[in-house]
DNA sequence: CTAAACGTACAG
DNA sequence: CTGTACGTTTAG
């Protein structure tokens, strides 16, 4: 009944008492209202060639007790899949990079385009769908609202606001975790950002108790590596914007399409 | 470049 | 006050 996703990583009875700080739900009320069409377990059972979510969630193959599922229930791909799945994130990240670089213009996409007609292609990430990608980019952006505040993004238009997440959700994110003061732009006082609560690591409920962060928590003062928010892993905007390899790969792939 | 260590913001 | 965890610095 619980909608909370329990991503059992390295299973250990100990991990039940993982962190007192992060309970069984996203931190912010606004996040709880996120209307994800699928549970995380769905994504886990939907392999992506580009982003190894399993690896992310289950760091140690030895721990992996999952019965292999050769015949995954491959549903007909839909837009929610595209932007919710690891693949979607991957592409959206890459696309945002292009936007930041001014290489990609935001094409206004109608909601019908977005929610209605998805590509008939498979959601292969790095191969096989190199065609017809560009037209979709414009439609993608509005659909991954969480990504933009995650990257310190502010959208002026707001086509997407009426789609997946209400404006309230985004504004909540911006207000709570990404206010200008918290982005380091506020001069002296450095504020701490908060975890997004949306990404796979954030949704994970338990510490692995095996990673260096878990084992070295007393000195390291760090959250479990597998729970470290994807957004917090990258630096907030700015000249020294750190681009994770995942982004770089995504960008590379997007560029090859043009 | 990565990871560890540390300072400290933040929440209870 | 205490514990957790983000941000920064430092070491390897």
Average of pLDDT values for A230-237?
A: 76
Q: A53-79: per-residue pLDDT in tens?
A: 444 444 443 333 333 333 333 333 333
Distance in angstroms (rounded) separating the CA atoms of residues A107 and A95: 12
Could you tell me which residue, A84 or A234, shows the higher pLDDT? Answer: A234
Whether the predicted pLDDT of A197 surpasses 80: yes
Q: Enumerate the nucleotides of strand C whose atoms come under 7 Å of any protein CB.
A: 3-8
pLDDT at A196: 87
pLDDT at A204: 86
Whether the predicted pLDDT of A158 surpasses 60: no
A243 three-class SS:
coil
pLDDT at A189: 55
Which of A16, A150, A178, A168 minimizes the C-alpha distance to A83? Answer: A150
pLDDT at A128: 34
CB proximity A240–strand B (7 Å threshold):
no
Share of chain A above pLDDT 70, in %: 17
Query: Mean pLDDT score of chain A, rounded to an integer?
Result: 48
Closest-approach nucleotide to residue A189, Cα vs C1': B9
CB proximity A100–strand C (7 Å threshold):
no
Residues 6+ apart with CB under 8 A from A248: none
Could you tell me which residue, A189 or A32, shows the higher pLDDT? Answer: A189
Distance in angstroms (rounded) separating the CA atoms of residues A8 and A64: 9
Nucleotide B1 C1' to residue A254 CA (A): 25
Residues 6+ apart with CB under 8 A from A112: none
Q: Enumerate the nucleotides of strand B whose atoms come under 7 Å of any protein CB.
A: 2-10
Nucleotide C9 C1' to residue A220 CA (A): 13
Q: pTM score, two decimals? A: 0.42
Distance in angstroms (rounded) separating the CA atoms of residues A177 and A158: 19
Q: A177-189: per-residue pLDDT in tens?
A: 333 333 333 334 5
| Residue A136 confidence class, pLDDT cut points 50, 70, 90 | very low
DSSP A171-234: HHHHHHH--GGGGT-SSSPPPPP---S-SHHHH--S--S-SHHHHTHHHH----GGGS-HHHHS
| Residue A118 confidence class, pLDDT cut points 50, 70, 90 | very low
CB proximity A212–strand B (7 Å threshold):
yes
CB proximity A191–strand B (7 Å threshold):
yes
pLDDT at A252: 45
- Positions 164-203 of A with beta carbon below 7 A from strand C are 184, 190, 192-195
Average of pLDDT values for A80-92?
A: 39
């Amino acid at each position: 009944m619980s909608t909370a996703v329990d991503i059992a990583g390295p299973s250990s009875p100990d991990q039940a008492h993982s962190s007192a700080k992060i309970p069984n739900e996203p931190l912010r009320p606004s996040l709880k209202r996120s209307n994800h069409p699928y549970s995380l377990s769905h994504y886990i059972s939907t392999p992506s060639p580009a982003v190894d979510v399993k690896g992310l969630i289950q760091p140690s193959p030895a721990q992996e007790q999952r019965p292999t599922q050769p015949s995954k229930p491959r549903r007909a791909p839909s837009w929610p899949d595209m932007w919710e799945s690891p693949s979607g994130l991957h592409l959206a990240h890459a696309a945002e990079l292009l936007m930041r670089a001014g290489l990609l213009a935001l094409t206004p996409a109608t909601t019908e385009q977005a929610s209605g007609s998805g590509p008939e292609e498979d959601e292969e990430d790095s191969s096989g769908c190199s065609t017809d990608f560009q037209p979709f980019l414009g439609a993608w952006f509005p659909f991954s609202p969480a990504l933009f505040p995650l990257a310190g993004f502010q959208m002026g238009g707001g086509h997407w606001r009426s789609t997946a997440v209400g404006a309230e959700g985004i504004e909540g994110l911006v207000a709570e975790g990404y206010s200008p003061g918290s982005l380091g732009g506020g001069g002296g006082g450095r504020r701490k950002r908060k975890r997004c609560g949306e990404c796979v690591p954030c949704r994970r409920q338990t510490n692995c108790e095996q990673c260096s962060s878990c084992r070295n928590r007393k000195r390291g003062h760090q959250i479990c590596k597998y729970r470290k928010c994807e957004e917090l892993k990258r630096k907030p905007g700015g000249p020294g914007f750190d681009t994770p390899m995942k982004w770089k790969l995504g960008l590379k792939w997007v560029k090859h399409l043009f």
